[in-house]
Amino acid sequence: MSNNDNILDAGDKNSGPRTCPECGFQFSLLLFVKRYVMKFGFPKWTCPNCRKFIKYNYTKSNLIGVVIFVICIFLFLFLQSKFGLDLPTYIFLFPYFFLVLIQLNFDRFEKY
């Protein structure tokens, strides 16, 4: 199979989750979360492979995070009222952080 017979064009190759749109470098989930926490609020990131600027959309991920947070609170309150359990409040944070990590696993970058 030659290079001309490639099914994916260059735009599709570099559009995966946590992938640089310029060079196709895929951030590991650990590196992505570390940068997400350390650069919170700054949409301009630098790709460690090609050193070009890429943009991360915090608005979308924050909106999804708030929706997940509200769902987890309602689920926690429902379980507490339905079964009469006196659960510590921090127990609802475990599924919240798990769902947020899943959401961050599929986030995408844009060209800056």
Q: What percent of the chain lies above the pLDDT cut of 90?
A: 0
Q: Which of 64, 62, 52 is closest to 25 using CA atoms?
A: 52
Domain boundaries, the chain: 3-111
Distances (CA, A) of 5 to 10, 12, 63, 64, 86: 13, 14, 40, 38, 62
Instruction: Examine the pLDDT at 12 and tell me if it is beyond 70.
Output: no
What is the rounded CA–CA span in Å between residue 112 and residue 110?
6
Structure tokens at 75: 């689920």
Q: Check: CB of residue 52 under 8 Å from CB of residue 22.
A: yes
Q: How large is the average pLDDT for residues 36-55?
A: 83
For residue 1, what pLDDT band results from cuts at 50, 70 and 90?
Answer: very low
